[in-house]
Structure 1
Amino acid sequence: MWHFFKRVLLALSLLAWLLPAGAQAPRERINIDRDWRFAYGHAFDAGQDFGHGTRAFFFAKAGYGDGPAAPGFKDAGWRRVDLPHDWAVELPFDARGNTNHGSKAIGRAFPENSVGWYRKTIDIPASDRGRRIALEFDGAYRDSVVWVNGHYLGREPSGYSGFRHDITDYLDYGGTNTIVVRVDATVEEGWFYEGAGIYRHAWLTKTAPLHVAQWGTFVKSTVAGGRAAIEVDLTVRNDADKAARFTAEHRILGPDGGTLASTRAAGLGVGAAATADSRQRLALVNPRLWSLDDPHRYVLRTTLLQDGRIVDTYDTRFGIRTVAFDPDKGFSLNGKRIKLQGTNNHQDHAGVGVALPDGLQDWRLEQLKSFGVNAYRTAHHPPTPELLDATDRLGMLVIDEHRMMGTSPEIVSQLERLVRRDRNHPSVILWSVGNEEWALEGKPLGTHLAQRMHAIVKRLDPTRRTSVAASSSGRGTSLGADVIGFNYGAQHDVDAFHRAHPDKPAAMTEEGSTLTTRGIYVDDRAKVHLNAYDRQGRPGNSLSIEEGWRRVQERDWMSGMFVWTGFDYRGETTPFGWPAISSQFGMLDTTGVLKDTAWYLKAWWRPEPMVHILPHWNWPGREGQPIDVRVYSNGDEVELLQDGRSLGRKPMVRDSHLRWSVPYAPGQLEAVAYRRGVRIAGTEVATTGAPATVHLSGGMGGLAADGRAVAVVWVNVRDREGRLVPTASDRVDFAVSGPLRIIGVGNGDPGSHEADRPAERHAFVPLSGWRTLALNGPDAGPDAGFAVAPDADMTNWRDPTQWLPPEQQPPRTPYMVLRGQFDRPRLAAGQSAMLFIDQLDPGQQVHVNGRRVTPEMVDGSPAVPLDPALLRDRNSVAYVLPTPADGVAGLFDRSAGTSRWGNVRVTTAAAPWRRSLFNGWAQVIVQSTGEAGTGTLTATAQGLAPTSLQFEVR
């Protein structure tokens, strides 16, 4: 350890020597997730979209962003949110919503819910002048538009591709700057729940004019004879107005920070406002290979120097490994044949929607790994970068999938961004450039586009192969695929295809689509529940999980199988539609509880001895009736016992299961697995008593005080003997104290319409009808009283929004009245209204309906709570203030389209955090708030003993 610290100190000393005194770090990448302001806009009504798009020249002249895009816009009363944020998960379920998207109240039928505005201010120090500063978003769903300080920067239509804007030229150095993002989720991009909003991280990157370009390194390796030959492709960007000469240095760092290999190239050049590429080579002796069991990574540290001074330092994590897809032998990693035991997954989790905290990415992967998953297909879009960081770190292989087939500039740009961003991840083994493109699958155009996209990928990454996932094969896209992905064996003659195309490797990219509800063993279609026994979900189109896996195992040339899906997800509610709100294809439910089919896979995908019984053994009213009992195990024999009496010992055929018909009687079933006659595992299910206590488990007990760390907590009820009640449906209420917050709840029920993430909802009513009147003083006799009276006649008052030529300006008086109005807000039960105003002058008076009021500070802005009993059908707000030096025109110019003069916020309070158990299970996700201390999660349910769980947040 001391050697590590010595190296760190040496590196810091070297950096200090190379940098000028008081200089900044050469590169800064700052996370800007915290403290955004959020409000709903409107998809087509400008009045409900804060007047956006109505200002003259707003899109014709630079810097004319209007509505919330205007830098001076007053966002008082908007919600404070942290990123990642998904506003769709906060919306209610609605029968008018698209079932493919989980029946959330979003889309064309809900224009008031389909647009979201985000605003954030950042301070840029004067010392940053001369640097290049970029704003980077890892993803926003969908059709996002960005402004900085009122200047339009650009649009990103994709909901999944990261995007970047260089904002150097638009910043106020030494001042405060405003970032605005409008996100429109009206149009759906996929056929599954996709969320809404800035649901991935946002960053501010600062560099010198000469710097490593975004995703500007690519580390390639070949391994032979105990050595790894490393080739580094480097792209350098020069944003200066003259050409530059520089030196590039690459060092490979080991786990202790020590240098394992290095190279240096001097005299490199790049033109003004241009990029330059270079290639350098290094070698490692006895490299430690990245593998599933030892996911070791190195760091490549790239340093750029000009005139002997460091101008940029850029770290790239990479792994050294070999991958191969062979048409006869399937897939191999580091020369070892491995069957891909994969699942397909969308980015969606109970409670949080698509806005997954980084820690939840890790947790979900661990749940998949727990039953033997070693591969992950990012269906059907580029993943968030943190998912690939986690697969690298935890050891899981990835098929990285592009969103749409095509070669238009927009689609190619998205494809190139995907490959450039992800090509240093050792977990990525295959690029998927298409999925079930039905309009192309049977046509020559499909072959052509697949080949063209393959060529684009190969230009950017010659080390990996590409794939197309096809629902039919033998023509079209399947012929253009480099590696053919079969979606559902029942839809293909895979053997005939293999004979006809013996040079083409293959994988079963989707299989299963089984329809099961966790914990249900008798269909109840009225509740959209389907029994959890493994079977063909769509006969003739897909296979059972067992059938699919056995077919893959029987074919050495088949690289592996990706089950559709790992997790259940909102939307795609086959075979029901409303009132179902989630899919039932998963091996785990939406909360990550293993379904019985996951236990089947665990028997054959994991080496540890195991045995699993289904169903549970709580069947009141079915005494004496036969129950279909199945057992999964990787033993070679299993014995089933009922209340200690053997029901027989049966041999287990590999990749299969065992089955008994057992008359129900309250008591206990026990399964014992044997291997070569020796007991290796045992399990039991027992009839439980009534629920007695709430139970919380699964939290780690400690969280980092960073405002990001999460803990996933299981919620159950137990009987008096401490046994989990598998049929419990009690409703549980949750509360937290200390430095904790709840960010989501769920229970895995595909028919539950309970709120996943209760949130406060705000609607805004702008003040309108503004008029001004000149006054001689703040209390100038009857004139002033008349000016603020509720029923004052303002017919001849001046409209402050209308420009007047100098010769028509009225005489300037010491004081003035600025007066607007608003209609009575419609308040439902539980709603409240508040008037947000501006501090136009330190000595101003504020009158509401003729009554002088004293505003209070609410979240940093002056506000007046509105008493419904004192409101009228038409209400007035009047400011009495000294006339500004630049008059009424200046007051209006500073008003950001009158948004600064006031608005009324109608607030619907968030519902309490609660969830009903579903077949004995629910989940609550807690997150640290950013402070240190002891946090407590408490769970209560009517008639049951409560419980709590403590977390040390440090």
Structure 2
Amino acid sequence: EYELQQPDGRQVAFLNDKVQVRPGKAITSKDKIIVKKPMLWSPENPTLYNLIVRIRDNEGNTIDGYRRRIGIRSIEFKGKDGFWLNGKPYESPLIGANRHQDFAVVGNAVANSIHWRDAKKLRDAGLKIIRNAHCPQDPAFMDACDELGLFVIVNTPGWQFWNDAPEFAQRVYSDIRNMVRRDRNHPCVWLWEPILNETWYPADFAKNTLDLVAQEYPYPYCYSGCDSEARGHEVYPVLFTHPANADKDWAIKKLDPKITYFTREWGDNVDDWNSHNSPSRVARNWGEQTMLIQAWHYAAPNYPYTCYDVLYRTPRQHVGGCLWHSFDHQRGYHPDPFYGGLMDVFRQPKYSYYMFQAQRSPKKQDRLFETGPMVYIAHEMTPFSPKDVTVYSNCDEVRLTYNKGGKSLTYTKPVSREGMPSPIITFKDVYNFMLDKNMSMKEGRQKEVFLLAEGLINGKVVATHKVCPARRPSKLLLWIDNENTELKADGSDFVTVIAAIADKNGNIKRLNNYYVKFHIEGEGRILGGANVLANPAPVKWGTAPILVQSTLKPGKIKITASVLFEGSQMPVSAELELESKPSAYPLIYASEEAALIPMKSDSQSFPITAKSQKELEKEKAVKEQNERKLKEVEQQQADFGEKK
């Protein structure tokens, strides 16, 4: 029995079929459902239906069944006419990124909620396609891509390895069948990549893999892709290559009008594959200048290279590309981490993340992911910050104001131009630390020092971002990075909790060398412990993240964060409370097995104890008293300077 329901639960189609199955035998049943005026799935509007399948016995009792979310959509690759979705040419190149599903501390042992949050963060950044490098990823990620409107390239597991033994190819063929059978009902599947990544396999292998996908998905809208330089690529409808207008060393010299082209990896630009120096590889804690260079490299560098701008200048036949890579991660083949992500391994954004976000449409929509206008100032106002101020925005105009009563500058986006939707905005020779110093020290106008960016559309301010210089470290901030999802008490779910060093006004002090120690009470534990510097955690670029995992029991979790070496002049501690919720499904486990799972944080290198509210209030009072004393010293110093 098949019942198809709209998102609101209303039935739109129903079908049943009577079958007889003899003991020990199997049958195949084929049926077809017609849906009139369907709500079509797309990245912009990822509508999902519920297909409920039930098996009833002769008396009508339900004895088995399941629910599958499906989307109704058509995809076509039309060679020189490019990519078509739901019977129409798709409006723009599909820009996305590759993804490994590993995470800080836990590696590949990633909870389902993390897969959803990853997809949400990437969709917030305006990405519309993900390449599962280099293997099928958890079904939870595929579900999230269905829900959030992310196309996916699904890969056969394999990377730079071939064995001539016949059983090797047979095992790969088995992987392909299982891969397609598992994921073929996901509307997010844009393309199958059944070949082995960057591998010199025989030509007949390429043809066999293409045929296997067609056997497992013998329906329309089934397409597979292959590297343009690989053996046997001639039979594939979609080929991976670089656009000819960017990287002439890697691009195909002559395009076939029947073939559609896509760049499966772009952005990485190493000097060699041993040293791995690249303008794309930037750890977040390396600071402003390096992150600005990474963003420029990904956007539109002044040297010929595949970038966001280039992918928007290609003919329709080249339909987009996936950045290498969405997140920092620890590779298997090289000892050094990969630092080329838009976000670090804890999913904390770099400047490039906001540059990508500025390429999304400014149109506001009611979606699970972020939409609408944005503006972001990529400048920290430190003594080492550049004179030029970089801003990322998808608005028609950006107005930048420097200090209260100071100068105001306006950028207007060209109405008609080729290339990326929103070029990087640079306001030249704006910031001057000496002006900050003079206003702060001589004129007592420290609060009037700031950068304010206002994004305007049709003359109205629709987005703002303000940056102030961070003054003396005064307190810790503590927040949860969970994309508004709840922590489930299933013993494996976890959330990221981030501590930051800030001044008294809450401005994050990016440049400091503190360590933060965490204490946790209640139904949670800190993952990693002292073994991987998870606790105490080093502050990098102003923040120190940890992973907090649930126990098997729902309840409150209290987290306290303090600087490692406390004292009367040190930043005040912070507290945060969250609550884990009951698991969505019954947990099946033996009590003796559960007893083996540590439900408290791993052992610490430093003794950490929770603080009472009274102790925290006292600590804050001492801090305020010390600040008053420092103000007195500051005034004495200022008076001395004036007399001199």
Corresponding residue for 1:55?
none
1:255-404 aligned at under 5 Å gives the runs: 255=7, 259-269=11-21, 273-292=24-43, 293-303=45-55, 305=57, 311-336=63-88, 337-338=90-91, 339-404=93-158
Do residues 721 (structure 1) and 505 (structure 2) align? yes
Higher helix residue share: 2
Deviations 1:58-92 (A, max 9, x none): xxxxxxxxxxxxxxxxxxxxxxxxxxxxxxxxxxx
Q: CA distance change for structure 1 residues 658 and 314 in 2, over 3 Å: closer, same or farther? A: closer
Q: CA deviation at 1:418?
A: 0.6
Corresponding residue for 1:918?
540
Do residues 422 (structure 1) and 183 (structure 2) align? yes
Matched position secondary structure for 2:187? coil
Deviations 1:571-618 (A, max 9, x none): 379xxx76xx42111111111122111211111124222222223111
Do residues 617 (structure 1) and 375 (structure 2) align? no
Aligned-partner Cα distance in 2 for 1:536–1:320 = 34
Corresponding residue for 1:518?
284
Q: CA deviation at 1:755?
A: 4.6
Corresponding residue for 1:658?
425
Q: How many pairs are equivalent? A: 520
Tell me which amino acid in the other structure corresponds to 1:684.
K
Matched position secondary structure for 1:284? coil
1:132-147 aligned at under 5 Å gives the runs: none
Q: TM-score when scaled to structure 2? A: 0.72
Question: Does the 8 Å CA contact 1:419/1:460 hold for their aligned counterparts?
Answer: yes
Tell me which of 453, 471, 474 is aligned to 1:689: 471
Matched position secondary structure for 1:456? helix
Q: CA distance change for structure 1 residues 522 and 266 in 2, over 3 Å: closer, same or farther? A: closer
Aligned-partner Cα distance in 2 for 1:356–1:641 = 43
Aligned-partner Cα distance in 2 for 1:701–1:391 = 16
Deviations 1:139-180 (A, max 9, x none): xxxxxxxxxxxxxxxxxxxxxxxxxxxxxxxxxxxxxxxxxx
Question: Does the 8 Å CA contact 2:388/2:430 hold for their aligned counterparts?
Answer: yes
1:598-617 aligned at under 5 Å gives the runs: 598-607=353-362, 608-617=372-381
Q: CA deviation at 1:711?
A: 2.8
Matched position secondary structure for 1:724? coil
Q: TM-score when scaled to structure 1? A: 0.50
Q: CA distance change for structure 1 residues 290 and 756 in 2, over 3 Å: closer, same or farther? A: farther
Aligned-partner Cα distance in 1 for 2:229–2:28 = 41
Corresponding residue for 2:578?
951
Question: Does the 8 Å CA contact 2:50/2:67 hold for their aligned counterparts?
Answer: no
Matched position secondary structure for 2:118? helix
Deviations 1:1-55 (A, max 9, x none): xxxxxxxxxxxxxxxxxxxxxxxxxxxxxxxxxxxxxxxxxxxxxxxxxxxxxxx
Question: Does the 8 Å CA contact 1:488/1:510 hold for their aligned counterparts?
Answer: no
Higher strand residue share: 1
Do residues 735 (structure 1) and 519 (structure 2) align? yes
Question: Does the 8 Å CA contact 2:39/2:47 hold for their aligned counterparts?
Answer: no
Question: Does the 8 Å CA contact 1:703/1:928 hold for their aligned counterparts?
Answer: yes
Corresponding residue for 1:70?
none
Aligned-partner Cα distance in 1 for 2:25–2:75 = 35
Aligned-partner Cα distance in 2 for 1:663–1:286 = 56
Q: CA deviation at 1:734?
A: 1.4
Aligned-partner Cα distance in 2 for 1:674–1:262 = 50
Question: Does the 8 Å CA contact 1:491/1:541 hold for their aligned counterparts?
Answer: no
Q: Which runs of 5+ in 2 are unaligned?
A: 163-167, 269-279, 363-371, 415-420, 437-448, 582-644
Q: CA distance change for structure 1 residues 703 and 476 in 2, over 3 Å: closer, same or farther? A: closer
Q: Which runs of 5+ in 1 are unaligned?
A: 1-248, 746-753, 759-912
Question: Does the 8 Å CA contact 2:359/2:422 hold for their aligned counterparts?
Answer: yes
Aligned-partner Cα distance in 2 for 1:284–1:402 = 33
Q: CA distance change for structure 1 residues 932 and 674 in 2, over 3 Å: closer, same or farther? A: closer
Matched position secondary structure for 1:261? strand
Corresponding residue for 1:710?
494
Q: CA distance change for structure 1 residues 268 and 348 in 2, over 3 Å: closer, same or farther? A: same
The Cα RMSD (Å) is 3.4
Q: CA distance change for structure 1 residues 284 and 929 in 2, over 3 Å: closer, same or farther? A: same
1:443-522 aligned at under 5 Å gives the runs: 445-446=202-203, 448-462=204-218, 463-470=220-227, 473=228, 476-486=231-241, 490-491=246-247, 500-513=255-268, 514-518=280-284, 520-521=286-287
Q: CA distance change for structure 1 residues 517 and 530 in 2, over 3 Å: closer, same or farther? A: farther
Deviations 1:552-586 (A, max 9, x none): 3442232222111111111379xxx76xx421111
Corresponding residue for 1:157?
none
Tell me which amino acid in the other structure corresponds to 2:18.
A
Q: CA deviation at 1:254?
A: 4.6
1:114-129 aligned at under 5 Å gives the runs: none
Q: CA deviation at 1:475?
A: 6.4
Tell me which amino acid in the other structure corresponds to 1:375.
I
Q: CA distance change for structure 1 residues 714 and 522 in 2, over 3 Å: closer, same or farther? A: closer
Matched position secondary structure for 1:362? helix
Corresponding residue for 2:339?
584
Do residues 534 (structure 1) and 296 (structure 2) align? yes
Question: Does the 8 Å CA contact 2:70/2:185 hold for their aligned counterparts?
Answer: yes
Deviations 1:202-245 (A, max 9, x none): xxxxxxxxxxxxxxxxxxxxxxxxxxxxxxxxxxxxxxxxxxxx
Aligned-partner Cα distance in 2 for 1:265–1:376 = 38
Tell me which of 382, 390, 408 is aligned to 2:169: 408
Question: Does the 8 Å CA contact 2:299/2:308 hold for their aligned counterparts?
Answer: no
Aligned-partner Cα distance in 2 for 1:397–1:322 = 12
Q: CA distance change for structure 1 residues 702 and 658 in 2, over 3 Å: closer, same or farther? A: closer
Q: CA deviation at 1:461?
A: 0.8
Matched position secondary structure for 1:275? coil
Q: CA deviation at 1:689?
A: 0.8
Question: Does the 8 Å CA contact 1:344/1:377 hold for their aligned counterparts?
Answer: yes
Aligned-partner Cα distance in 2 for 1:493–1:483 = 20
Tell me which of 534, 542, 551 is aligned to 1:929: 551
Q: CA deviation at 1:379?
A: 0.6
Q: CA deviation at 1:678?
A: 4.1
Question: Does the 8 Å CA contact 2:102/2:329 hold for their aligned counterparts?
Answer: yes
Q: CA deviation at 1:253?
A: 4.1
Question: Does the 8 Å CA contact 1:552/1:561 hold for their aligned counterparts?
Answer: no
Q: CA distance change for structure 1 residues 496 and 935 in 2, over 3 Å: closer, same or farther? A: closer
Aligned-partner Cα distance in 2 for 1:538–1:354 = 33
Deviations 1:407-448 (A, max 9, x none): 8211111111111011111111211123552425xxxx34x3
Q: CA deviation at 1:251?
A: 3.0
Q: CA distance change for structure 1 residues 523 and 492 in 2, over 3 Å: closer, same or farther? A: same
Q: CA deviation at 1:744?
A: 5.2
Aligned-partner Cα distance in 2 for 1:254–1:681 = 35
Q: CA deviation at 1:482?
A: 2.3
Tell me which amino acid in the other structure corresponds to 1:615.
H
Tell me which of 308, 318, 323 is aligned to 1:548: 308
Deviations 1:476-522 (A, max 9, x none): 3543332112257655579865x531111122221112223325357
Q: CA distance change for structure 1 residues 500 and 308 in 2, over 3 Å: closer, same or farther? A: same
Question: Does the 8 Å CA contact 2:389/2:431 hold for their aligned counterparts?
Answer: no
Matched position secondary structure for 1:277? coil
Q: CA deviation at 1:353?
A: 1.2
Q: Which has the larger radius of gyration?
A: 1
Deviations 1:717-764 (A, max 9, x none): 21012212222342111121111222358xxxxxxxx85486xxxxxx
Identity %: 25
Q: CA distance change for structure 1 residues 664 and 719 in 2, over 3 Å: closer, same or farther? A: same
Question: Does the 8 Å CA contact 1:329/1:558 hold for their aligned counterparts?
Answer: no
